């Protein structure tokens, strides 16, 4: 094992649409869209982190599924990984983001994503069944 710390991002898909969340911070990322998520806490599994982050950020209960796409190396030894997520309970609300959007494959190709998430677009489009 390496000492890298993981950041999880959730691909929450429902009815052929992917949930994107619009960042409010930092200023250089504000207004851009991302897969919701955040840092895995020490001792926490990535799946548990997906569940916790979506509870905190969206107010929903999800299950975390398989990994999708490639690892994205971040600053400070962090690595960003995307996981599929299934909505179990609740309706997503923008508790920590500026807004939420459910996008189809075409909209996903047009929306302004954060750089770190852009490499996942081909896999996400495939999952959306364009
Ligand atoms: O909320 P927490 O501090 O745990 O995490 P965060 O600040 O939301 O995310 C940690 C790092 O991952 C930041 O540098 C985010 O910009 C990055 N991130 C990303 O690039 N793409 C995502 N879909 C989620 C987080």
Q: What is the residue-level pLDDT of the chain in tens, covering all 130 positions?
A: 457 899 999 999 999 999 999 999 999 999 999 999 999 999 999 999 999 999 999 999 999 999 999 999 999 999 999 999 999 999 999 999 999 999 999 999 999 999 999 999 999 999 998 6
Beta strands in the chain (DSSP E): 5-14, 17-22, 33-34, 37-39, 61-73, 78-89, 99-103
**104 CA → ligand 1 middle, Å:** 23
Measured CA to CA, the distance from residue 66 to residue 62 in angstroms comes to: 13
75-86 pLDDT, tens digit each: 999 999 999 999
> Which residues does a 6 A CB cutoff place in the pocket of ligand 1?
7, 9, 34-35, 37-39, 74, 80, 114, 116-117
What CATH number has the domain bearing residue 69? 3.90.79.10
**105 CA → ligand 1 middle, Å:** 23
Q: How many domains does the chain have?
A: 1
Q: What is the pTM of this model?
A: 0.95
**Residue-range definition of the domain harbouring residue 40:** 5-129
> Is the Cα dihedral 45, 51, 11, 9 positive or negative?
negative
Average pLDDT of the chain to the nearest whole number? 96
- Tokens (6 digits) for 65: 């599924």
- Tokens (6 digits) for 23: 């960042």
Measured CA to CA, the distance from residue 128 to residue 130 in angstroms comes to: 6
Measured CA to CA, the distance from residue 63 to residue 85 in angstroms comes to: 6
ipTM: 0.95
Q: Whose CA is nearest to atom 5 of ligand 1?
A: 38
Q: Whose CA is nearest to atom 20 of ligand 1?
A: 116
């Amino acid at each position: 094992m390496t000492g890298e710390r993981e950041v999880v991002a959730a691909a929450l898909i429902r009815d052929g649409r992917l949930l994107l969340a619009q960042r409010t911070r930092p200023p250089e990322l504000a207004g851009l869209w991302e897969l919701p998520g955040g840092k895995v806490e020490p001792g926490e599994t990535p799946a548990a982190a997906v569940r916790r982050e979506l509870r905190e950020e969206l107010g929903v209960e999800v299950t975390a599924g398989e990994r999708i796409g490639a690892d994205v190396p971040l600053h400070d030894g962090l690595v960003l990984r995307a996981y599929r997520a299934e909505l179990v309970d609740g309706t997503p609300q923008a508790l920590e983001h500026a807004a939420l959007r459910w996008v189809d494959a075409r909209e996903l190709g047009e929306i302004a994503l954060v750089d770190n998430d852009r490499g996942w677009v081909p896999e996400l489009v495939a999952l959306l069944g364009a």
